[in-house]
Structures are given as structure tokens and as C-alpha cells.
Amino acid sequence: MPNTAVVSMTRRERSGGFAESMHMATERVLVVDDEEDLLELIRYNLSKEGYQVRCVYTGEMAIREAKRHLPDLILLDLLLPMVDGLSVCKILKNDPQTQHIPIVMVTAKTEEADVVSGLELGADDYITKPFSPRVLLARIRAVLRRHLKQSMDDSSTIKIRELVIHPGRHEVLLRGRPLDLTFTEFRLLQFLARKPGWAFSRSQIVDAVKGEDYPVTERSVDVQVAGLRKKLADLGSYIETVRGVGYRFRE
């Protein structure tokens, strides 16, 4: 149970909204962690750089605050009481209202499986405890830049035969009917469909869908492609396997 200092800090922010910084920055960051000292350290360093910061200490509060205020980025600890960070990530990435918000996971775990699970759910990056404020700020800036560029690149609708991809609405229509795709499946389809006929390696696909240097195996790309082909039904053959290379979307 968090002590009074964390509760009172959160109440002040709840009553006043996102804390205004001296630099009047526009980026709003929601920080989710149940460790008081770490929350205060992160809040101090981000506020000093001009970010508008809100801090909460449970998964339930994170979901509520994300939907209420729609921050520009969420810094999310995986080890939370009751509703853990992976569950929070899954809920937010499956909600059309919040699925566009980039999430940076914070974890004390070193197991690759935990990191991969979060990235597969749609998280944008991760940082392992303990970390320096400079490294944290660098990661946050990089994710925000990448997200801005992605938003600009993703603005146009893609139409290929009976398939329509609406990036802004995060929606795929097949013969006029919406397809129920996961975050990763949507990004994979969008990436391949933007350049029909181009062959991409599995590592290129991972970089485009998740960002550079993520520990996602080639096998996981194959699994995502198989699931996507199944959902595309008879149009699944549009995604072709290029032996010795990877995949391409048929011209």
C-alpha cells in the first residue's frame, strides 16, 4: 500500500490536471509505478525538462487516467499490484480511444519473455531498472519522435482491391467489413501493403512494426503472418513468402 506522500501527490495532480511546467511543453506523460521514490525521481526529472507529468501507482488508476486525459506517452511499470503492467498495456492497446498512445515499459525483470510479451501487446519500448535519468529522457524523446513521424507517415488510406486500410482510424475493411486485428497484425499489414511487390526480411519487418533493436525472434514474425493470413481468408495469399528473404505483399 503506498504511503501518504504518494497519495497526496496524486490527489494534488488529480485536482489540478497535468502539472504545468516552466517550459510550457506540450507533451504529457503519465507515469505508472508503485514505488514512491522512483515516482518522485521521474516526476522531478521530466518536469525539469518541460514535460507535463501525472503520476499514479496502480494499474486501475493508469487505465482510468489514460482514458480521461489521453497523454502523449505512458511510462508503465510491469510489476504493479492487482492489475499488472502487461494487463494495462493490453487493455489500452485494445481500446480505440487509447491504442495510439506510445507506451514505454519499465521493468526490473531481465527475462526476455516479459519484454517480448509487452512488445507483442503493442508497447513501443522498454527500459530496465535501475536506469539513469539521462537514459530515460533519451528513450522518451526517441519514442515521441518516432511516434510523431509515424503519425505523419500513416495519414493516408491504403486501398488494394477489396482491402481498405485506414491508418488514422486503425481500421481494416475487407469487402466493406471490418477485420478484428491485433495492434501488431495491423502494423504488419500496413507496412507490407504500403509497398506492394517489395520483399522485406523478418528483421526489417520487426524494425518497422516495433522500432529498432527489439528482441523479437524471427519465429514470432512467422506466427503473426500466419494469423494475419487466416484473418484475411481467401485474400491471405496476398502476403507471399519470399524464400530466403522474408515476406512481401503481392502486386
Q: Are 130 and 209 members of one domain? A: no
Domain count for the chain, please give it: 2
Which of 104, 6, 11, 133 has the alpha carbon at shortest distance from 57?
6
Same-domain check for residues 140 and 228: no
Closest listed residue to residue 196, CA positions, set 141, 227, 158, 244 = 158
Do 210 and 245 share a domain, yes or no?
Answer: yes
| Residue 54: exposure state from Cβ atoms within 10 A (0-12, 13-18, ≥19) | buried
Domain closes at, from 131, 152, 173: 152
Find all residues with CB under 8 Å of 191, minimum gap 6, and list them. 200, 205, 208, 209
- Predicted pLDDT at 113: 76
In a shared domain, residues 143 and 161:
no
Report pLDDT for 183.
82
**Which CATH number do you get for residue 70?**
3.40.50.2300
Instruction: Specify the pLDDT at position 42.
Output: 94
pLDDT reported for residue 26: 62
Cis amide leading into 96 (omega within 30): no
Shared domain for 68 and 159, answered yes or no, is no
User: Are residue 146 and residue 170 in the same domain, yes or no?
Assistant: no
40 and 163 housed in the same domain = no
DSSP state of 171: E
Domain with 223 in it: 155-249
Residue where a domain stops, chosen among 135, 152, 169: 152
45, 136 Cβ separation under 8 angstroms: yes
Do 86 and 181 lie in one domain? The reply is no
What does the pLDDT read at residue 13? 38
Residues 66 and 145 in one domain: yes
Query: Which three-class secondary structure state does DSSP give residue 77?
Result: strand
Domain-terminating residue out of 93, 122, 152: 152
CATH number for the domain including 198?
A: 1.10.10.10
Which pTM does this prediction carry?
0.56
Residue 155 has a pLDDT of 60
Q: Are residues 11 and 31 in the same domain?
A: yes
Residues of the chain scoring pLDDT < 70 = 1-26, 109-111, 148-155, 210-218
User: 148 and 32, same structural domain?
Assistant: yes
Angle (nearest 5°) at CA 50 between 45 and 52: 90
- Separation CA 8–CA 14 (nearest Å): 10
